[in-house]
Structure 1
């Protein structure tokens, strides 16, 4: 049975995100892991209301910023994927990890 580790990254700092993801991909390739990605998604613009007081009513113009996203998959190489997930990423990057179990073709369901 093969495991697929799916990594999703999001950050408001595009340069740090791109540098971190590329560094991770280079590390995975150097260690011989099968890696797909990074795949970029369109940036999402987030708008946050800003109030002049603690109650609704009087407002400043909303604060707007872009969130950039990247995703990648590690196929097999469970030990390498485990090391990647345990890595310390910059505080400006939000990381989500999902692990799927893939059965080989022709495998019977019981």
Structure 2
């Protein structure tokens, strides 16, 4: 039975996101951990309407636009490395989601 830890990173700052993911990738290589990714998702452009002042009658002005970037990596086995990586302190610009899945070999229940 193998545990696969999926880490999903999202951020509006592409440079910081890529720095964090590349650092994890290099650390995994040094420690001999099996890593899949990073997998990039298409950037998500977000638009937020803004008003001149609070309240219903404030009137709308140009929208605030920003882009959200996503990177996903999978750590196969190496639970100590996965736990240490998921528990790291990441920059405030980075949002991290962690999912752990138990996988069994073919033919096993």
Q: TM-score range by the shorter chain?
A: over 0.9
Deviations 1:57-88 (A, max 9, x none): 40111100011110010000011100001100
TM-score (norm 1): 0.94
1:86 aligned partner: 87
User: Quick one: distance in 2 between partners of 1:78 and 1:68?
Assistant: 26
Gaps of 5+ in 1: none
Runs of 4+ in 1 over 4 A off after TM superposition: none
* Secondary structure in structure 2 of the residue aligned to 1:105: coil
Q: CA RMSD in A?
A: 0.9
Aligned equivalent of 2:65: 64
Per the alignment, residue 10 of structure 2 pairs with: 10
In structure 1, what is the equivalent of residue 21 of structure 2?
A: 21
Gapped regions of structure 2 (runs ≥ 5) = none
SS in structure 1 of the partner of residue 17 of structure 2: helix
Partner of 1:105: 106
2:78 matched residue in structure 1: 77
TM-score in terms of structure 2 length: 0.95
